[in-house]
Amino acid sequence: MRSNLRQKHDLYRLATNPLMCALICALHRDRLTHLPERRMELYAAALNMLLVRRDKEREIPVPTGLAPTEEAQVQLLQRIAYWLIRNGRSEAVQTTAVRIIREKLPTMPQMAPPDHAEDVFAYLLLRSGLLREPSAGMVDFIHRTFQDYLGAKAAVEAEDLDLLAESGRDDQWEDVIRLTIGHARDGERAYLLRKLVQLGDQTVDLPLRRRYHLLAAAALEHATTLDPAVRAAVTLRASTLIPPDTPADGEQLATAGDIVLGLRPGPEQLTPEQARATVMTIARIGGEAALDQLARFKRVADRSVRQEVALPWPYFDARSFAEEILVGLPVDDLTLHLSGPEQIACLDALDRIPHLSLRGQMLSANLVDAVAPLEVHSLSIAPSSAVSVTLPSLAPLSGLRRLAVESCDVITDLTALADSPAEELVLHRLPDGANLAFLTRAANLKSLRLSSSHGVPLPTLPLPQVTSHNLEGVLTGEQIPDLADAFPSLSSLTLRLTCQRYQASVDLSPLRNVLRGEADVTLVDAGKVHCLDALPDNRVSVRHEGRDRPEGRARSGILQRFRARPPGSGTHRLHECP
């Protein structure tokens, strides 16, 4: 279903919500894998399934005295939805919903008499699948998108087109206005779009003008038929918003949908910032046409633009993206992200992946074998924090130079990392008492970075092969740990230690034993610092930072102060918060 859904990118965006994803899956099964083509059709199909067919096919009887046809239920639900929208509410008191139903029932005697309004409401709440009781005595829609769809239908029937257009300045009305275009007849549709264009033209507030014109452009996706002159007017205004200058502009522009793709200039006419924002816009719109547009940006010289081109792989058909975008994309300075089995199945299309990032529970022996021929030099592993992970041997990755593990606390056994040929190893979120003895077997290891929120993580055995060390942890005592025994060959040391006790005194004397290297130390929430004068002033830099405390004792703004030294003795740098 996923590949089928990717071809319908407006539905694909809806599927990012768990509730709507479940509904789309139900429709996919119910309609024998044939999903609606467009969003308006999806809502219509969902209403038919929920309001009529579900109970009939399960042979659930209708309560005596009620005749809840689909049309009658929609009429009542849309009046409740429109009341919520007009009043800026997300939920209503149930007595209000009953009153709305009672006022409508005289026009639909086949449904039930007015004195049965409470019974009708109870039926809609329990059986429609669209309403719920979020708290005692209250009612709302299971998802805002159904409220907007039904409210838009009520707005068209009430001929509130001017109200809709004026409400375009309010975020809460955006989707209602777009869906109104889908419900409206030709004349109503043209009038509403002209009104949005006119309101945008008349305002001197540039963000508000952009908002009205973008809203009109975004609504075109629901305009099945439209006066060509109106379509041209909307398109002309949209063209003035292209290219986007920032990612935020690009995200807004993407709401206009496919119309943007036909107005987009080529990469050679854009600054790197505009090109990056444009790529983000194209990726967010999605679909086959967007894939063709992305391909035009894959040879751009700017690295950040090409990285944006590579990022949306999970949101397109994996094979098409690999063959049309990744093949021929200069990747030496890019990171490719794998997050699903569909991407793994397409690795055969690629020649090399110098920098690879794995998200979720992706790493397995089979995956290691699959990427081994792809010249992976840098590998980042970010497993899900919800499930324990067992690492396979990384020995087949003979070209690996850098390995980073983001969540070591969910890895059952770190010893498999000893087989890694990496020269640089980064281990984040080490668990309390992590056993790092395996590092002695990492023969190629030269640079090590450790971080933990449980004390200061240190190997129990010396690592003479390590020449560069970056350590981040919690200082539980008042003395920096002696690193000389663990790292006898250090030429570079970076420490960031947070004092467990606020304003604790810190003894720096163990740094004297790191004689061969340079040290850059950051102390967070420290008080007095001892033995600073005893350190080699030309090789040790100490920074003293503060952070916001729950007690309100915030310390911010770092002051750099230099101590005077005899000529030729070097400069000892001390950074303190005032």
What DSSP string runs through 523-553?
Answer: EESEEEEES-TTS-TTTEEEEEE----TTS-
How far apart are the C-alpha atoms of 18 and 476, rounded to whole Å? Answer: 43
- Which residue from 545, 457, 458 is spatially nearest to 498, judged by alpha carbons? 545
- Other CB atoms within a 10 A radius of the CB of residue 459 amount to 19
Q: Beta strand 559-562 with 573-576: parallel, antiparallel or unpaired?
A: antiparallel
Q: What is the pLDDT at residue 15?
A: 57
Q: Is 380 exposed, middle or buried (0-12, 13-18, 19+ CB in 10 A)?
A: middle
- Which residue from 82, 77, 25, 73 is spatially nearest to 53, judged by alpha carbons? 73
- DSSP H or E segment with residue 92: strand 92-93
* DSSP result, 564-577: ---TTS---EEEE-
Pair 559, 578: CB distance under 8 Å: yes
Query: Over the stretch 208-251, which tens digit does the pLDDT of each residue have?
Result: 999 999 999 999 989 989 999 999 999 999 999 889 999 999 98
Question: CB neighbours of 356 closer than 8 A, spacing ≥ 6?
Answer: 335, 336, 338, 371, 374, 376, 378, 379, 380
This prediction has a pTM of: 0.75
Structure tokens at 221: 């996706």
pLDDT under 70: residue ranges of the chain? 1-20, 27-37, 57, 515, 547-578
Question: CB neighbours of 546 closer than 8 A, spacing ≥ 6?
Answer: 524, 525, 554, 555, 556, 577
Q: In 3-state terms, what secondary structure has residue 473? A: strand
Q: What is the pLDDT at residue 16?
A: 58
How far apart are the C-alpha atoms of 558 and 494, rounded to whole Å? Answer: 18
Q: In 3-state terms, what secondary structure has residue 389? A: strand
Greatest Cα-to-Cα distance within the chain, rounded to the nearest angstrom: 101
* DSSP result, 490-514: -SEEEEEEEESSTTEEEE-GGGGG-
Query: Over the stretch 526-558, which tens digit does the pLDDT of each residue have?
Result: 888 888 888 877 788 888 887 654 443 334 333
Amino acid at 70: E
Q: What is the pLDDT at residue 13?
A: 60
Q: C-alpha angle 360/366/372, rounded to 5°?
A: 100
- Which residue from 210, 181, 203, 206 is spatially nearest to 193, judged by alpha carbons? 181
Q: What is the pLDDT at residue 379?
A: 96
Determine the straight-line distance between the first and last CA of the chain, rounded to whole angstroms.
60
Structure tokens at 8: 């319908």
Q: What is the pLDDT at residue 479?
A: 86
Between helices 70-86 and 117-127, what is the axis angle to 10°?
Answer: 90
Q: What are phi and psi of 561, to 5 degrees?
A: -125, 135
Q: What are phi and psi of 424, to 5 degrees?
A: -120, 130
Q: What is the DSSP letter of 411?
A: B
Query: Residue 264: how many CA atoms within 13 Å on its side-chain side?
Result: 32
